[in-house]
Each structure stands twice: as C-alpha cells, then as structure tokens.
Amino acid sequence: MLKTILTLSLILISVAISLALFRVIKGPTIPDRVMALDAIGIYLIAAVAMLSVLLNTHAFFDVMLQLGILSFIGTTAYSRYLERGYLIERDHDR
Amino acid sequence: MSFVHLIIFIPFVAALLIPFFYKYLSRIHTGWFVLPIPAVLFVRLAAEVPLVAQGEIFMHTMPWIPSLDINLAVCLDGLSLLFSLLILGIGTLVVLYSIFYLDKEHEALGNFYLYLLIFMGAMLGLVFSDHLMLLYAFWELTSVSSFLLIAYWYQRKKSRAGALKALFITIFGGLSMLAGFILLSSGMGTYSIREIIGSGKEVTLLPQFFPAMLLILLGAFTKSAQFPFHIWLPDAMEAPTPISAYLHSATMVKAGIYLVARLTPIFGGTMPWFWLVSLVGLVTLFWGSFSAVKQTDLKAMLAFSTVSQLGMIMCLLGLGSAALAEPLNIMSSLYPAAMLTAIFHLVNHSTFKGCLFMVVGIIDHNTGTRDIRKLGGLIRLMPLSFTMMMIGSFSMAGLPPFSGFLSKELFFTSVLHIARLDIFRLETWGVLFPVVAWVASIFTFVYCMILVFQTFLGKYQPQKLEREAYESSWGMLLPPLVLAVLTILFFFYPNVLADYLLLPALAAVLPNMAAADFGIEPILAWHGWTPELMMTIGVVLLGTLLYLTFPKWSRIYHQLPHWLTLNHAHDRFLSLGEKISLTTTKAYMTGFTRDYLAYIFLFMILLLGGGLFGQQNFSFDPTGNSPIEFYEVILVLVMISAALTVALAANRLTSIIALGVMGYVIAIFFVIFRAPDLALTQLVVETVTTALFLLCFYHLPKIKKEVVRLSFKITNLAISLGVGLIVTAMALSAQGHQLFPPISGFFENSYELAGANNMVNALLVDFRGFDTMLEITVFTIAGIGVYTLIKLRMSRRDSD
C-alpha cells in the first residue's frame, strides 16, 4: 500500500519536474528559467525524501539538506548574476 | 682482442685524440700526428701477406651483444687483406698529401683528420667484418663520415648540396641493404657470412633468396655509384681533393664492389645475379665514359671516369660469378679469370685514380682553377705533374707500359669469350658485352687524352689563372709519384702481385675451388696477335681520331634535353615529394579543432563500429536486468529534453540552466541507484560548475546566429549520432556479457578490515587510497594551473 502510494507520488513529482523543465526550456525570460530550476531543486528534495522511505534508508538525509542549501545558493547566484552581471565583486567594482 | 680488432679500433681511438693535438700542439700540422697511424697499420698488415698467401684465414670473435647473437666477428682473408692494404696504403699517401695541400692557418684541420680517421676505421671495419650487422654498422659509418668530409667546406652551398645528395642516395641503399641482410640471416638462422657461405647451395632454396639479393645489390650499387645511382659521385667532388682521391676513387666507392665480391659465394652462380651485376656494370661502364668526355671540370671528368671504371669492375664481377654455376662447362677457367681481372683492375684503378686526383689537386692548388678551358701549356711549368698525369691517364686508357693495359686486355678477353658460352642464354645476348665494352673503351681513351693534352699542352693563358702556375713542393708530389711508380711496377711484375695478393683474394671470392682448379694462366703483357690486341689497337686508332675531331662532334652532348637527365629526375623527385607531402599535410591539417574532432570521432565510429557490427560481436541479453519504474522513464525523458535544450538553445544561459537540470537529475538517479555519496558530490560539483560557467560567460559575447554551411551541420549530426549509437551498442553488448563474478563481495568486509561503516569511503581512503591521492594531486595541479593562468596574465598586463 505504502509502496504504491510512494510510487504514485514519485510519478507525480517526475511529472512536476518535467513540467518545470518545460518552463526551463520555453522561458520566455531568464528569470522564468531560474525560478523553474529552483522549483526543480525543491521537487528533487521531495523526491529524495520519498525515495528514502521507499528504499527504507536514512542514508539520503544529507542529500536533502544539501539540495536545500545548493538550490538556495544557486538561485541566489543566478539572481545576482541577472541583476548585476557578475557573481563575485572585485575591489575595483565597488 | 686480436690484432685485427686492434687495427679496426686504433683509428677510432686516434680520432678521439685529434682535437687535443689540434688545440694544444697547433704549431705542428696535425697531419703529422695522423700520418704514422695508417703507415704502421699498413706495415703490420703487410706482415700477414705471406701467411695469407699460403691460404691461412684469421677468424676472431669478441662479444658485443651476445643475447642477440651480435658479436664483433672479424675475418682476415685474401679479399679483406687486399682491401685493407689499399685503404691503409692509399690512406698513408693521402694523409701525407693533405699535409701539404691543406693550409695550417686557414683550415679546420682538427675536423678534417677527425672525420678522416673515423672513415678509415669504418672502412677497415667494413672489410674485416664477418658479421652482417657489424658490416652494416660500419657501412653506415662510412656514409656518415663521407657526408661530413664532402661538406668539409660547409660555408659553400654546393658542398652542402653535394653532401646531402650523397647521404640521401647512399643511406637509401644502406637501408635497403639492411633489409636484405635481415632477410638473408632470418632465412639462414645465422649472421655470419662465413657460415652462410659454408652452408653451400642451401641458400638458393630460400623463398627470400631473390628479394634479399635485390635489396643487397641495391645497397652495393648505390655505394659504388652504379647506373642510375652514380649521380651523387660527381657532386661529391666539392670535397677537398685528398678526400676525392681517397674516398671517391680508391676506398669508399669500392665498398659496393667489396660487398658484391664478398657475397658472390652466396648469390653467385645464379642467373639473376649474373645478369644484374654484369649488365648494370656494363651500362655504368658505357654511360660513365660517355659522360666523362663532355666535362670541363677536371674533377668531374675524373668522377665520371671513376663511375665508368667501377662499372667495368662490377661487370667483371658479374661475369666471374658464373664460375659458381652448375654444371661447370669446359671453358670454366674463363670465369675465375674474369674474377681475377676484376680484382686486378680494382688495384690498378685505386693506384692510377689516386695518382690522377692528386695531380689534379696540385693543378688546382697551384693555378687556382680546374677548368680545362682555362688551363693549357702547363708542361713547361709543371713537368713532374705532367709526367704523373700522363702515366695515370695512359694507364686508365689501357696503354702499355702501364698496368691499365694488362687489366684492359684481360677485360677484353673475358667479354670476348663470354659470347661463346652457352649458359644463362649468353648465346643470344653475349655479343652485347664485347661491343659495348669496346665502344666504352674508345670514350675512355678520348677523355684520357683530353685530361692530359688539354691541360698540359696548347697555349699557356696566365691571364685566365688566379695565380702564376708553379711546380709543387716535393711533399705534395711524392704521394702521386709513389702511385705512378706502382702503376709501372704492376705492369712489369704483375705476377708477384697476383701470387701474393690477387690469388688469395680470388680464393676468398670463389671458395670451394682449390687454387690449382682455377687453371688461370699467369698474366702476360704480350700474348701474341690476339683479338684483344686488335681491339686495343682499334681503340687507340679510333680514339685518336675522335680526340682530334672532338670539336666537330661534341655537339651531340647538347642534344639531350635537360629534363631527361638523371640529375633532373633526382631533383624533380625530391621537389615533387616535398610538394606532395606539403599538399597532403595542408589538406588534412586545417588548423580547425572541429576537423580534428571529426577525424577522431570518425575513426572511433569506424574502428569500434567495425569491430562491433562488422565482426558480428553485438549481442544484447536482457536477463538479469532490474525492472524499470515509471518515474524513472519520466526522469529519463526529462534528461533527454534537457540535453536537447543544451544543444539547440539560442542563448547561453538557457544552455547552462538546462545543463544544471541534467546534473540534478543525474543526482536523483544516484539516489535511485542507492549511491548517497555520489549524489552528494554530484550536487555540489554541479552547482560549482554552473557557477563557473556563469563566471566564464560573463566575459563571453552573446551567441551569434552563426552562418554555418548545411553540409557541416549534417556531418556533425551524422557523426554525433554515430558516436552515440556506437557507445550505446557497446554498453548494451558489454552489459550482457558478464564473464566473471564481481569482486565487490570482498569490500563488504570493510568494517572488519578497515573499521568503516561506509564502504565507498573505505574504498576511497583505505582499500584503494592510492587513486585518491593522485586525484588530490590532479586537483592541486588544476588549482595551481588556474591560479598561474590568472596571475601571469595579470602581471603581464601590469608590466605593459
């Protein structure tokens, strides 16, 4: 029962990822794509969580935490890039 | 270490010491230190003459590379004794001559004598070697040292060109000879010439007999300047005259003759050998003497005459090789006689040609030119040189009372009788020999007369000469004088020479035949009113006539267009080869990375695809595969569309984002396949890579709508599809073929063996920590590399 529900949710998550991917591909603007990527990151956290239950292991908890951090950092980096045109400030840019 | 080994090594050791003498004892001409070496060695070898004449053969072997069956096997028999005496005797005279010829102040004498001694040692090693590989080593050493000596005046363009040409042709021959040696020794299972000879007729049954013969003959013909490889010899005349006298008349060009004579017991007696050697010799004899007449440079004339005389010796060697044919017929004593004539003329040629070169050197040295159009009337000023030139030339022309007369008469005897023999289809083609030989002798007579009379008679033209002509010092005159005297002595006492040197040499060329079996009559200056004598008289009469009318018929030499000459063919071959290789290289080395990648991938497709599908190795076995979940299918579809987006996006940022999606989905696959460590690492690396891409693209321009040819796109698509297909097919094929059980069971003991709960980490730092260390090194190098690239660029910008 649990397995069926989890598989079903995984399928739904996969569909969500592919829909987000559609946004990544289609755009039309870069921020749209970045938002979609951020969403994919969050979906992945959920997917990993469900997989952990399905596989009956807690080895992937690290992955979930890391995904959260990285998708935040990634989205921030993109946003900064889109806003200012660079990622890391140099002394003479200030 | 026997005395034969010592004789070979002493010149090399002396060559090592030459620079010290040249540098620290520069007040004395370096040649004086060199002179005793060949002289002493000559005397030492001459002491062996009586023993060798009694049929004694000295064999000595020293280990060199025993594991490869290569050793310093030397052999002293009649043939090598004769050659080594020539090398050392003429070597002594040439060194003496060079002391007076080369100036102490203006010439780099250290180089000269260093090269000369290397050459002398190499030549001695060549004639004493019994081991094929040793023979080849010394053979190439003579080529290289000759190259160095021809280009002795390396500031001159013509010297360098001549040296290059000589090296090119002789090395070509040397390499083909090496191939022949390898074929021969692989067939016989031994490198020793003596052992191959000892095995008798077994060698003729080898399948590689004919190719080996052809390749070895190619080496001999190129070295001995036989037609059509003779073209390097006239150009080698840019060398100093002592070198021309020594290398290009008396010693090196006889290396090919030596090789043919030495291998006659192996190959001789067969029809291809007979015809190849004697016909090439005959053609060379004719072409050399024909071309010599038109030369205006004395040394070029002598060069072509050398070519012609070498052809004559080669022809005689070919005729003489029939002595080994079976069945022997009644007139078989004729063939050994031809062989003896070859050896006799070899000695004669070395003496008179050495003498002639030295006299020409004296003329060049004392008048400043070698052009016969500028020379003339020197007889009054240089009487001694004239006498010696006359002796040498008349000997070459075959006039009594000089040694050349005897060998020319014997040559006529050989070619005259060859037509009457009934082996090797001589009955049809044999008549060719006497006719061509006779015509060639007439031309020989003509250029010999030109050599003497155009140089020394006629009008003296001091205004055309660079300096006032004068007779040389005795030091320069003595060496040619010795040779001229020898030329006369050989005429009056030919049988002393024959008994002590020529017959032992003949016994080495034609083994398995006792001396008594030869049935050779002693060499006689006068043997009645024979056809040979008539031929000689005919040569003299017609030759004189042709010489007197030379201006009338010399026009025929200008009829041959330039593009038909062999020199032109050689130059054209080289320039064409250069052009073709340049065009080919330019055609595929386009400088575009895209093209090189296309080559690499195309070859990958061809090789792997050929291996997979061409050999029917592809097979797919789905048993043992795990079931595929539906969400996995969707994730794969996501990856495919992301990958297509990367390839097709019109915007760099879209590509990067799609690449990020791919990386993340890969991470989720790692989760599905239960690899938490991989998933963690993949996520971090993916994020960092994406950030780096963004960093890079900040500096890049926007993607331009590139105008690419459609054919480009289609080939790119085809190649990438092909590569993808091949890799997929390979993975599927490999997956179905697990031949052995995996070894991962061992690593399940990671807690017992390494105290680790995490198997992957135990593998990385414990079981196979060595790989990890090197991966760390790779990262360090990459980091330092990036740092250096950035820093160095910055500092350069600062300094600007």
Tell me which DSSP letter residue B61 carries. E
Report the pLDDT averaged over residues B623-630. 78
Tell me which DSSP letter residue B371 carries. B
Q: What pLDDT was estimated at residue B270?
A: 83
Q: What is the ipTM, given to two decimal places?
A: 0.79
Q: What pLDDT was estimated at residue B770?
A: 93
First to last CA, chain B: 68
User: Quick check: B331 pLDDT over 60?
Assistant: no
Structure tokens that stand for B403 in this block: 């040694």
Distance from CA of A42 to the nearest CA of B (A): 11
Comparing B581 with B401, which gets the higher pLDDT? B581
Q: What pLDDT was estimated at residue B578?
A: 93
User: Quick check: B799 pLDDT over 60?
Assistant: no
Instruction: Give percent of chain B with pLDDT exceeding 90.
Output: 20
Which of A5, A15, A21 should we substitute to test contact with B (largest number of B Cβ atoms within 10 Å)? A21
Report the pLDDT averaged over residues B57-66. 87
Comparing B620 with B440, which gets the higher pLDDT? B440
Region for residue B395 given its phi and psi (left: phi exceeds 0; alpha: psi -120 to 50; beta: otherwise): alpha
Report the pLDDT averaged over residues B478-506. 85
d(CA A21, CA A27): 10
Q: Which residues of B touch A (CB under 8 A)?
A: 629-631, 634-635, 637-638, 641-642, 645, 651, 653-654, 657-658, 660-661, 664-665, 667-668, 671-672, 674, 676, 679-680, 683-684, 687, 690-691, 694-695, 698
User: Quick check: B136 pLDDT over 90?
Assistant: yes
Report the pLDDT averaged over residues B278-290. 90
Closest CB to A63 among B638, B653, B671 = B671
Ordered mean pLDDT values, 10 residues apiece, chain A (94 residues): 87 88 81 86 88 85 86 84 73 58
User: Quick check: B525 pLDDT over 60?
Assistant: no
* B184-223 per-position pLDDT tens digit: 888 888 888 888 888 877 777 888 888 888 999 999 999 9
User: Quick check: B275 pLDDT over 70?
Assistant: yes
* B533-564 per-position pLDDT tens digit: 888 888 888 888 888 887 787 777 777 666 66
- The residue with tokens 């790692």 is B670
pLDDT tier at B433, thresholds 50, 70, 90: confident
Centre a 10 Å sphere on the Cβ of residue A76 and count the other Cβ atoms it contains: 12
* B395-422 per-position pLDDT tens digit: 988 887 888 888 888 888 888 877 666 6
Report the pLDDT averaged over residues B353-380. 84
Q: What pLDDT was estimated at residue A11?
A: 87
H/E run at residue B64: strand B58-65
Distance from CA of B748 to the nearest CA of A (A): 17
Tell me the H-state helices in B454-565: 455-456, 474-492, 494-497, 503-509, 515-518, 531-548, 550-553
The residues, ordered by sequence, that sit 6+ positions from B713 with a Cβ below 8 Å of its Cβ are: none
Distance from CA of A25 to the nearest CA of B (A): 6
H/E run at residue B167: helix B157-188
Which of A9, A38, A40, A71 should we substitute to test contact with B (largest number of B Cβ atoms within 10 Å)? A40
Size of interface A-B (CB pairs under 8 A): 104
pTM of the model as a whole: 0.80
User: Quick check: B579 pLDDT over 90?
Assistant: yes
Taking every pair of Cα atoms in chain B, the longest distance, rounded to a whole number of angstroms, is: 115
* A23-48 per-position pLDDT tens digit: 877 778 888 888 888 898 899 899 88
